[in-house]
Amino acid sequence: MNQPEIPSPPSAPLAGRKRWLQHLPYLSLALFLAAIAALVWLTREYDADEQRTTLISDVLWMEQNLRFHLDRNEVNLQEIGRELFAGQPLAAETEARLASLLNQERGLVQILWLSADGGLLGSIPPRQGDAPPATGRGSAAGDTTFQLARSVGRPVYGPTYPVMGDSYQFEVHVPIWSEDAQPGVVVGVYSLTDLVVRELPWWFSERYRVAVLDADGREIAAKSKVAPVSSRLVYSMPFDPPGHGLTLQITAYKSDTRWIPVLLGASIVLLAGIIVWSVMQLRRQLARRQQAEIALRAESAFRKAMEDSMLTGMRARDLDGRLTYVNSAFCRMTGFTADELLGLKAPMPYWDPEHIEQTFALHREILSGGSAPDGTEVRLRRKNGEALDVLVFEAPLIDATGHHAGWMGSVLDITEQKRAREQARQQEERLQQSSRLITMGEMASTLAHELNQPLAAIASYTSGCINRLQDDQPLDRRELLDIHERIARQARRAGEIIRRVHDFVRRSEPKREPLDLNAVVRDAVGLIEADARKRQMQLRVELASTLPQVEADAVMIEQIVVNLVRNAMDAMRETPTGNRVVEVRSTHLGRFATVSVADRGTGIPEEIAERLFEPFFTTKAEGMGMGLNICRSIAELHHGRLGFELRAGGGTIFTLSLPLDTPA
């Protein structure tokens, strides 16, 4: 049988490529996770950029809105300034317009009009008693702003200054022109807090905290609510006008949780986790599957090698009797290849044409319920025409789902075994015949003496008759009749002895037929009686009155009884003459008919009992050691038993048991 080729180890490039391919899923997973993380980060950054863009847009809108209010107040102050310097009492309409300008929503808290030399001409609201006006006038910064406004001829904003502790104000000096002359300057005093608080709409205050910082970075005014602010969304810009180092700082409040992005991010993270877990499980499963495939390939190779080395043929059939598998041993056995057999249905090409009907019947029986536990012998025919005897064992073929899918058969080639058994049987028959001839040879002198007595009696009676016939005396018919009857009895006696010897030594094929076991025992005893008398032995025969017939070969059973009786007599050679008794009994025990032979010898020692039935083992100097072995073989051939036991009081009892029913 050819040895299977051992695969060579993979080359270094292939091994490196295989390792790279094994790590490719992990690399892909890492790239996927990086892409997910980048997507989440980009989404957050995009959202932050959107919020910052919205913040800048809202701040620019706020800046334009504040500038618009300041510019509108400048225009209103210029328009109303001409009326203030007209030198006439204020009209009701002018007072109404002044009151409108002092509305908190405009941020102005006081309006003053100064002469060209800086003298206070009036104010709204007016001063209380001798209290000085709540302005920065009189300070260096205020004078500088006044002079600058007169010089440039347009509105100028002054720096902020504290009022009443924590409040801050700033002024706008608007020069008034009348017929190419400047009669004075209108000063608008702004409350920084009112401007920031009142001028901003509610929605802006809901989103952002607005603070005004001075040149030193101190917060001097703010509009806020109690809410956490964001550390990232902060925007600062110069507060110009009024300028002078003021800065607007707008900080976005931390908005409420935006559930849609959160849920989206959480979903992405969850899906990423699920994918990672799935990939890990898939990888683990693939690893287990790869290990299982490697183990399966190894197991398959092992089973293939085992099947190829088997001498037992294996073949599988489905429920319809179609061949689905054959091994190499079955192909060698039948001479057909697997391609020639697979898919075929009955009749098979390896069936024996001479036994096609019997094989068909066996085929249907196996498909309906399987073969016998001990197997079934079938005659097949090889492809070259040679006969083939096989022993078939069938078992149900169960698939992976537990369903009956067909039949698996083991086929043993027993051609040589049958030939060997036949040769052994013929050899055993010749050995049995030889044993019987040897027995007859040992009993020859006794049988000759036994035959000599009737023959001598016949000769004596015949001589007496001749003498009487030659005598002239009248003949007595009764006397002659009695003499002839005696001659006939002696002749029958001699003939019976010759028949028994002939039946015992003749060679014939084993013939199992119903027989009377008692008759066989009587024939055996009659055959050995002469030898028993010569040895001064007594034969005591006790036969059952009602003994069923058994299926057996009479000559073989008679040989067992003769050998057992002669062995019993041999065992009593040293026994006193009066105790030399061989007891032969037949009985019916259950489903067995038994014949027992008992002696009164010394018994069988334990060391001899273990080897008593071995071939060529004997305790007799002249023995061959085959008698008991042949007797046991004959008993087993008849599906019976031959055993022995020690007899109470000394001696041995050999028992032959034969089944009453027909052996299967």
pLDDT for 132 equals 42
Domain covering 310-413 in this structure, CATH number? 3.30.450.20
The CATH label, of 3.30.70.260, 3.30.565.10, 3.40.50.300, 3.30.465.10, for the domain at 513-664 is: 3.30.565.10
The pLDDT of 640-651, averaged and rounded, is 86
**Is the pLDDT assigned to residue 26 strictly greater than 80?**
no
- Tell me where in the chain the CATH 1.10.287 domain(s) lie: 416-507
**What tokens appear for 108 in the block?**
């102005």
**Is the pLDDT assigned to residue 664 strictly greater than 50?**
no
Q: Which residue has the higher pLDDT, 652 or 26?
A: 652
Cα dihedral 261, 266, 271, 275 in deg (nearest 10): 130
**What tokens appear for 327 in the block?**
């091994």
**φ, ψ at 387 (rounded to 5°):** -75, 150
Distances from the Cα of 50 to the Cα of 61, 208, 252, 268, 278, angstroms? 16, 15, 13, 21, 35
The pLDDT of 517-521, averaged and rounded, is 87
pLDDT for 342 equals 84
130 pLDDT tier (thresholds 50, 70, 90): very low
483 pLDDT tier (thresholds 50, 70, 90): confident
- Tell me where in the chain the CATH 3.30.565.10 domain(s) lie: 513-664
Of 106, 118, 110, the closest CA to residue 75 belongs to 106
Query: What's the CA gap between 272 and 490, in Å, rounded?
Result: 119
**Is the pLDDT assigned to residue 548 strictly greater than 60?**
yes
pLDDT for 485 equals 73
pLDDT for 433 equals 61
pLDDT for 131 equals 40
7 pLDDT tier (thresholds 50, 70, 90): very low
**Is the pLDDT assigned to residue 440 strictly greater than 70?**
no
pLDDT for 587 equals 92
Token pair 């399966």 is found at 296
**What tokens appear for 617 in the block?**
């083992």
Quote the DSSP letter at residue 614.
Answer: S
- The 10s digit of each residue's pLDDT in 562-592 is 888 888 888 888 888 888 889 999 998 888 8
The CATH label, of 1.20.120, 3.40.630, 1.10.287, 2.60.120, for the domain at 416-507 is: 1.10.287
Total residues belonging to the chain: 664
100 Cβ contact list (under 8 Å, min separation 6): 106
pTM of the model: 0.39
CB burial string 494-533: b at 16+ within 10 A, e below: beebeebbeebeeeeeeeeeebebbebbbbbbebbbbbbe
pLDDT for 133 equals 46
- The 10s digit of each residue's pLDDT in 221-253 is 877 665 566 667 788 888 888 888 888 888 887
List, in sequence order, the alpha helices (H) in 374-505: 415-442, 444-470, 477-505
Quickly count: other Cβ atoms within 10 Å of residue 194's Cβ.
Answer: 19
510 Cβ contact list (under 8 Å, min separation 6): 429, 553, 556, 637
Task: Give the percent of the chain with pLDDT over 70.
Answer: 76
**Is the pLDDT assigned to residue 559 strictly greater than 50?**
yes
The pLDDT of 124-146, averaged and rounded, is 59
- Tell me where in the chain the CATH 3.30.450.20 domain(s) lie: 51-255, 310-413
In the sheet where 208-213 sits, what is the strand order? 219-223, 208-213, 247-253, 229-238
Quote the DSSP letter at residue 104.
Answer: G
Query: What's the CA gap between 85 and 82, in Å, rounded?
Result: 5
**Is the pLDDT assigned to residue 128 strictly greater than 60?**
no
pLDDT for 13 equals 64
- The 10s digit of each residue's pLDDT in 67-95 is 888 888 888 888 887 777 776 677 777 77
As a whole number, the mean pLDDT across the chain is 76
**What tokens appear for 14 in the block?**
């292939």
pLDDT for 432 equals 59
pLDDT for 225 equals 62
Task: Give the percent of the chain with pLDDT over 90.
Answer: 2
**Is the pLDDT assigned to residue 451 strictly greater than 70?**
no
CB 146 within 8 A of CB 118: yes
Please give the sequence-ordered ranges of beta strands (E in DSSP) within 192-239, or none if there are none: 208-213, 219-223, 229-238
pLDDT for 183 equals 82
**Is the pLDDT assigned to residue 525 strictly greater than 80?**
yes
Cis peptide before 347 (omega within 30 of 0): yes
Distances from the Cα of 396 to the Cα of 171, 180, 322, 631, angstroms? 111, 127, 14, 41
Element (H, E) at 204: helix 202-207
Of 598, 604, 602, 559, the closest CA to residue 581 belongs to 598
169 pLDDT tier (thresholds 50, 70, 90): confident
Query: What's the CA gap between 59 and 210, in Å, rounded?
Result: 10
The domain over range 51-255 is classified in CATH as 3.30.450.20: yes
**Is the pLDDT assigned to residue 127 strictly greater than 50?**
yes
11 pLDDT tier (thresholds 50, 70, 90): low
**Is the pLDDT assigned to residue 6 strictly greater than 50?**
no
